Structure 1
Amino acid sequence: MRTDIKKGLVLATITGLASPMPPPCNSSKDICLNGSSVTIPINGEIANLTTSTLQVTFRARNGTNLRLSNGLQTSDQVAADSPKIENGKATWNLPTRNCTVTAYGQNGRLVVTLSQPDGSNVTWPITGGGVDNKYQSLQYPRGPGRNIPLRDEFWNQGTEGPEKSGTGGDMIIPGNGNNNLDVAVNFMMPFWGYSAGEGRGSAYILPEDIGTKVNHKSVNGSLQTSFTHSFSRKQNTTSYTVIFEITDGSPLASAFSYRRYLQENNKLMRLKDKIAALSDTSRLLGAFHAYCFGVDGCSADSMKKLANAGIKKLWVGYDQESIPQDAVKQAQGQGYIVGPYDTYANGQPSNESDSHVAKWPGNAYPEQCITLYNGKQKLGFGQRGCYMSTQAQALAEPSTGNLAARLNSTTSNGVLSYFLDVDAASEFFTDFSESHGQNMMMDRKNRLDRMLKISKKFVLGSEDSHGWANGVVSYSHGTLTQMDNRFFGALLGVKEVYGGYKPDGGPDMFFKPISLPKNFATTMFDMSYMIPLTEAVLHDSVVNVDRWDVPLHKFPAVEKQRILQNMLYNVPAMLAINGTVIEEKGQQIAKYQNFFQPLHETGALLPLTKFEYLTQDKMLQRTEFGNGDLVLTANFAGEKLGGLEGMCVAAKIRDVEAKLCV
């Protein structure tokens, strides 16, 4: 492993090697052994890593300490061999755990890697509440991003123990079964951070998130977040790395750290480069997103009516088998971009399938179904059919051409875009089939490979696209939605409440307005708990939008707030349209889209560089993009704040100013 002390990065790896005591050293300049700890200089601070417990503490120039992680849980603590220090890297062994540790500094960060035998696990790092009382708030990339005060009563409800059922929400509810969650699925990207006050905070990165789960609990009324990694030879997770960094404690500091990390590793592809490779990608700039339904919503005449209402740019999607070629031609001829909904994830018997996307030629179903450990098929979405194995599909493709045929057929009406559901959503599967077995990393690679092929021909989007897919997708549906894990069972899954897929021309799921229960309104839409972490990493790479089943008009009580958030974060609104919506809301939509278009045409190609709260109640917020090229200020309160009227957003594009009130 390469080490560069001049850049100040620290890496810890467990190796099992015993070594003589290292010579004395100057801990402000050299990595060295200090009693039972390894000390590593990083950007003028000293990182201290206790060799037996892996407790991590940073000491600032003024002597102030900040603990970034508690040590291993008591039952996991073991004696450590003396570290070997060589070439700026410390390596030692925890014999009773058969665990190897290596530590070093690089690029201003501390990185710790644990290597253990197959079948073992470790809970570490342990961060936040109960670790250092200076910590004030937690930031993590759930949806657009969370900013949770650690001692907030709402978010600590029900978190005192697994037997208590809380009402707080999101994934910080052990009593509601929302703990022990896969980081790969529940974090848009594998990082998180804390603000500790006085211009100081911490950031954490997992270079590989497969095999790691996140847990939250309340420790004396303060939220603690820990991570449990499973070491598995089958999943290629026998090595576990965590990277630590001291930040300035600002709300977006951890996101900026992760963005730098992606750039350092050439893992961030910017939207301008995607446009250079496929010019039609530029049609996304300034466009709202909408799914059309029914003949009166997806016809050429409807596309004309949308333009006549004043809507200048629009991504139009549909989930029926096709829409008329003249509708596609009309929409794209007036500057829109059209794309079908598709998914390769589900398979059903052709004569019983309830969806055209679940039908596959020949014996693809059931031969390409995922096989579970017990030999049974993995049931598909909604317990229908099966989940298809990406490895089985990849192995069969050279002879069957099923995926290529599906793509050609689905796009034969001339569409320029393609929406491939779930492929970028980070829900990976292990397939125990003898003929097409795969682990989770293989599943991810298969998805990346096939999305890359599509992205060379069509402007590609996917559901809830995670950071690892930024090189292949240009837009993501679901990333802007701040999901509460209970939403699917308690609301979306209850047709009597949320609505189902009928009637055909305007399914209630998309068009029936409903009132959100108070807790869901808080966990999903309270702007005092939301920050643009995901945008701080990916804004100039991926156009992030809401889920299609939570369109703008679904929840009337928060509709105005949501359109302000769209403007503040410089991301499009998601709509569900049919003839009635075009007739009744077309001009309102046009008003919003016309205001948004010049903001997004400028901002979509710029990184989000600053976010701040301008009032103590967090209702007045500001974002900046580029070097102040675009500045947006939104007032989510019902009264005037900072000179801006309530429920208004003020925009400044270089020297041009504008305002929208809703």
Structure 2
Amino acid sequence: MKNLLSKKLGLLLPLTLALTGCVSNSQNPEPSSAAVPEEMEVSESHDTGLPFDFEVEPEEFTLSFEVEQTLITTAAKGERRTVLDYGKVGDTVSWRYPYEQISVSLSPEKDYLSVEITSENENDNSFTWPVISADTYYFPFGEGKRVPADDPAWFDYLNGQEFQVMEQLSMPFWISSAGSYNLLFVMEDPYRTEMNFTSDSPIAFSVSHQFPAIDDNRTNKFRIYITDKDPVSAAKLYRNYVIEQGQFTTLEQKAEANPNIRKLYGAPFIYLWGDFAVSADDINWQAFRTSLSSPVMEYFLSFAGRLENGQEFTSVLKEIQGQDYVAEYQKNVICSYISQLLKRDDFWEPSVFTQRSSELEVLLAKGYGSLSETDRIQVHKYAVASNLPEVFADAGQWMDSQTVTLLQEMKEGGIEHAWIGLNSWEQAYGKPELVETAVSQDYLIASYDSYHSIHEPGREQWITAQFDDPSLYENAVITDQNGKPESGFQNVGRKLNPALSLPAVKNRMETIMSSQLPFNSWFIDCDATGEIYDDYTPSHITTQEEDLAARLERMSYIRDQYHLVIGSEGGNDFAASDIAYAHGIELKTFAWMDEDMKRNQDSDYYIGKYYNPNGGVAEHFSNRIPVKEQYRTTFVDPKYDIPLFKLIYNDSVITSYHWDWSTFKIKGATADRMIREILYNVPPLYHLDAVEWSKYKEDILCHQTVWSDFSQTAVTREMTGFEYKSEDGSVQKTVFGGDGEAAAVAVANFGDSSYQYENIEIPAHSVLIEMNGSREVYTPSLDPEHV
């Protein structure tokens, strides 16, 4: 990495050392013979060979660098404080703030200035520094954002915001412009660190750090680098820092332990939906109407009082007795009800299901009581189909149109590799052929899983919040300093302490994997989002550091114990060595910020319900919606994007969108998102069932041909270059690889007019691809309804 740094446009600027220090006047009563007299300057020559000149004024903790006789303000004026014990040992400057019980030291290192802020108080303490003001910022908000300080949309978004660094930044640094240079601030201890954006325009912010009594680490550290104006220089310094810390692992290194990781290369991310165990296509509805008085149908009705839609099912049966047809709504109610029945442990009744198919006999020969949950559901399916053969198709083919057939069509269409995500493992229990087919086609297939929320035993609202050990709800949850349990997702239930979760993780995974379903991937929600906690429960006090370590431990356990390709929501870089893929870096969820998106079902902006009456893709994921202009600027408009995460981790973690915001989700943005997927090497993300596949099939397959070829070349290479080719950011260029190998290059034009690049014209909303000695201009060709 040293050789790479030395080539990067003069990354490190040779400076010498100069110091300035001031203390407060005598209005503060606490004397110290070590205090520096007011306005005293230290400007003696230091032949240290270190590349820094800096000036610090401790009283307001301002910090400046001098570069070629130009003074660059690094940290602006903060709160005025009393200063004691100002001194210098070697090249290290230090002092104390006695009333805050804080000590500070500044030390020039090889290519950065180290700032250490230490709490001398063993109780809870906090300190705010630095105060930052600049013309332009580059923040690792997800992939990365260029934020002009005077931009009104960004000001409206950031105004008054208090961002927790671990959660809101994908990597703990920021870059701020300073004249002809950039400053890179790396937060080495980002836990309990908050960025507080002011209400003043232009945009400015301060950084505060909490020192809780429960944490033994009392020192907060920053590294400050000066680079040239190119933000790529700063990104590469951070990559070098991560490597220095021993925290960087390439995809190919991960693939040495699990070659299945290579199935992610050139693979789209596809959530495949189908919550029913039987679909309307699997039922002869005319025969269904004439069999309502059969023993099996009467048995179905006997459960009506115990099922969620039992009353609705009963009403529908009465309705269709007087009809010569079955309406779509009625079919959905019946399929939903029967699907719930088939998943019940108490459904099997030999006296009702007297007819036995060969498949049923084989399953029962194992002994019903010893069957896995998967096999029990298959028993139930074959029992129903065997005893009502005129009504139900062969049970082995139930849901094929939503699962097996759809996967086969994807493969035949040219999707060689894909990541398939299921809403839960129960989806696979109902249709094991789905998992088997995916694996046989060289696809990865994973279930959604989560250990974040825990619900009151017996009142669980979703399966991942249900745990076999009922004592966890009282004895293993996170409480705040006031002894109040932290609320779970959507304020339901509580949050499980990760440090106490591993036995539950092992128990759940052992149960799922005992079904013999050949899962080869897994998705663990929340663990890489940075939403971490200090737990003040007296019996199991846990710090944020311990919380995060436990999350990484449980993900690694799932990965290693079951040889699975794992990913997580978010994908912040503390998890980069542990996961292979991440959903959320490229576009985080933001619907919660706006009432129209979140709750107003009459609004065009409403994201949609978590529900589909036919068990397919919920409208939350299938509804295409516009995005309000203020959110379009800050979350969607590619002109403000900068691939900070890819410049550091392109060859380490494969990143895509939060599942709320699939490739087709945003009206008017699809083409730009597709060319960005090439420019930044981002896998498309889709939500599919038979209906959605039919709707988007041609667009998906056309895009896959171009995107996948590029991605397979780019994915294992470092992103070595990025630049804005137009001042407004509407034309961007990325470079993957080089330095001895032919680079893969993309130049994307997000603008409304064509752009001349060298001797090639790139039309509006198109991308030029240079790879393997050839050039191609790609303009997504979309159904007009999908633009």
| TM-score, structure 1 normalization | 0.86
| Alpha-carbon distance in 1 for matches of 2:16, 2:219 | 18
Q: Which residue in the other structure is 2:192 paired with?
A: 211
Give 3-state SS (helix, strand or coil) of 1:344's partner: coil
- The answer as to whether partners of 2:15 and 2:53 remain within 8 angstroms in 1 is no
- The answer as to whether partners of 2:589 and 2:658 remain within 8 angstroms in 1 is no
Counterparts in 2 of 1:601 and 1:520: CA distance versus 1, 3 Å: same
Match of 1:51 among 51, 58, 81: 58
- The answer as to whether partners of 1:540 and 1:604 remain within 8 angstroms in 2 is yes
Shift of 1:42: 4.4
Question: What residue identity is the alignment partner of 1:202?
Answer: L
Counterparts in 2 of 1:17 and 1:297: CA distance versus 1, 3 Å: farther
1:333-370 CA-partner distances (Å, limit 9, x unpaired):
22211110000112123432221111110323343222
Question: What residue identity is the alignment partner of 2:86?
Answer: S
Q: Which residue in the other structure is 2:109 paired with?
A: 106
| Alpha-carbon distance in 1 for matches of 2:570, 2:15 | 35
Identity of aligned residues (%): 23
Query: Equivalent residues in 2 for 1:356-367 (5 A)?
Result: 356-363=463-470, 364-367=472-475
Question: What residue identity is the alignment partner of 1:392?
Answer: L
1:207-227 CA-partner distances (Å, limit 9, x unpaired):
0111111011254x3211210
Question: What residue identity is the alignment partner of 1:405?
Answer: N
Question: What residue identity is the alignment partner of 1:652?
Answer: E
| Alpha-carbon distance in 2 for matches of 1:259, 1:325 | 42
Q: Which residue in the other structure is 1:285 paired with?
A: 265
Match of 1:506 among 617, 624, 635: 617
Give 3-state SS (helix, strand or coil) of 1:435's partner: helix
Give 3-state SS (helix, strand or coil) of 2:528's partner: coil
| Alpha-carbon distance in 2 for matches of 1:210, 1:637 | 40
| Alpha-carbon distance in 2 for matches of 1:596, 1:309 | 14
Shift of 1:84: 3.5
Shift of 1:624: 0.8
| Alpha-carbon distance in 1 for matches of 2:16, 2:700 | 49
| Alpha-carbon distance in 2 for matches of 1:208, 1:7 | 27
The yes-or-no answer on 1:66 pairing with 2:168 is no
The yes-or-no answer on 1:268 pairing with 2:248 is yes
| Alpha-carbon distance in 2 for matches of 1:328, 1:354 | 26
| Alpha-carbon distance in 1 for matches of 2:469, 2:153 | 53
1:281-338 CA-partner distances (Å, limit 9, x unpaired):
1111100101011146752121102112332221100113232332222122222111
Query: Equivalent residues in 2 for 1:400-419 (5 A)?
Result: 402-411=504-513, 412-419=516-523
Shift of 1:28: 5.4
Give 3-state SS (helix, strand or coil) of 2:243's partner: helix
| Alpha-carbon distance in 2 for matches of 1:80, 1:485 | 49
| Alpha-carbon distance in 2 for matches of 1:262, 1:459 | 23
Question: What residue identity is the alignment partner of 1:467?
Answer: D
5+ residue gaps, structure 2:
1-11, 20-30, 275-398, 781-787
- The answer as to whether partners of 1:347 and 1:380 remain within 8 angstroms in 2 is yes
Question: What residue identity is the alignment partner of 1:64?
Answer: T
1:474-525 CA-partner distances (Å, limit 9, x unpaired):
1000111055585365524555521111112121100111121222222211
- The answer as to whether partners of 2:589 and 2:660 remain within 8 angstroms in 1 is no
Match of 2:587 among 471, 481, 486: 481
Counterparts in 2 of 1:571 and 1:550: CA distance versus 1, 3 Å: same
Query: Equivalent residues in 2 for 1:261-660 (5 A)?
Result: 261-294=241-274, 295=399, 299-320=403-424, 321-323=426-428, 324-363=431-470, 364-394=472-502, 397=503, 402-411=504-513, 412-456=516-560, 457-482=563-588, 484=590, 487=593, 490-492=596-598, 494=600, 497-503=606-612, 504-627=615-738, 629-642=743-756, 643-660=761-778
The yes-or-no answer on 1:125 pairing with 2:130 is yes
| Alpha-carbon distance in 1 for matches of 2:518, 2:33 | 65
- The answer as to whether partners of 1:369 and 1:389 remain within 8 angstroms in 2 is yes
| Alpha-carbon distance in 1 for matches of 2:402, 2:217 | 47
| TM-score, structure 2 normalization | 0.73
Give 3-state SS (helix, strand or coil) of 2:510's partner: helix
Shift of 1:107: 3.3
| Alpha-carbon distance in 2 for matches of 1:483, 1:42 | 44
Query: Equivalent residues in 2 for 1:189-268 (5 A)?
Result: 189-198=171-180, 200-217=181-198, 219=200, 221-268=201-248
Give 3-state SS (helix, strand or coil) of 2:255's partner: helix
| Alpha-carbon distance in 1 for matches of 2:400, 2:634 | 35
Moved over 6 A (4+): 5-10, 20-25
1:177-220 CA-partner distances (Å, limit 9, x unpaired):
xx22211111111100122343x11110100111111011254x
Give 3-state SS (helix, strand or coil) of 2:175's partner: strand
Question: What residue identity is the alignment partner of 2:673?
Answer: R
Shift of 1:657: 2.5
Give 3-state SS (helix, strand or coil) of 1:97's partner: coil
The number of residue pairs the alignment matches comes to 608
- The answer as to whether partners of 1:203 and 1:253 remain within 8 angstroms in 2 is no
Counterparts in 2 of 1:536 and 1:403: CA distance versus 1, 3 Å: same
| Alpha-carbon distance in 1 for matches of 2:669, 2:242 | 34
| Alpha-carbon distance in 1 for matches of 2:500, 2:755 | 58
| Alpha-carbon distance in 2 for matches of 1:362, 1:9 | 62
Match of 1:661 among 766, 779, 783: 779
Shift of 1:72: 2.8
Counterparts in 2 of 1:285 and 1:95: CA distance versus 1, 3 Å: same
5+ residue gaps, structure 1:
31-40, 129-134, 157-167
| Alpha-carbon distance in 2 for matches of 1:430, 1:443 | 7
| Alpha-carbon distance in 1 for matches of 2:142, 2:107 | 32
- The answer as to whether partners of 1:300 and 1:326 remain within 8 angstroms in 2 is yes
Give 3-state SS (helix, strand or coil) of 2:129's partner: strand
Counterparts in 2 of 1:406 and 1:184: CA distance versus 1, 3 Å: same
1:620-652 CA-partner distances (Å, limit 9, x unpaired):
110111226111111111221122111111111
Give 3-state SS (helix, strand or coil) of 1:203's partner: strand
- Which stretch of structure 1 is more off in the superposition, 650-659 or 270-279? 650-659
- The answer as to whether partners of 1:9 and 1:104 remain within 8 angstroms in 2 is no
Give 3-state SS (helix, strand or coil) of 2:224's partner: strand
Give 3-state SS (helix, strand or coil) of 1:422's partner: strand
| Alpha-carbon distance in 2 for matches of 1:538, 1:311 | 25
Q: Which residue in the other structure is 1:161 paired with?
A: none
- The answer as to whether partners of 1:492 and 1:498 remain within 8 angstroms in 2 is yes
Counterparts in 2 of 1:8 and 1:445: CA distance versus 1, 3 Å: farther
Give 3-state SS (helix, strand or coil) of 2:540's partner: coil
Counterparts in 2 of 1:188 and 1:461: CA distance versus 1, 3 Å: same
- Which stretch of structure 1 is more off in the superposition, 408-417 or 622-631? 408-417
Counterparts in 2 of 1:495 and 1:474: CA distance versus 1, 3 Å: farther
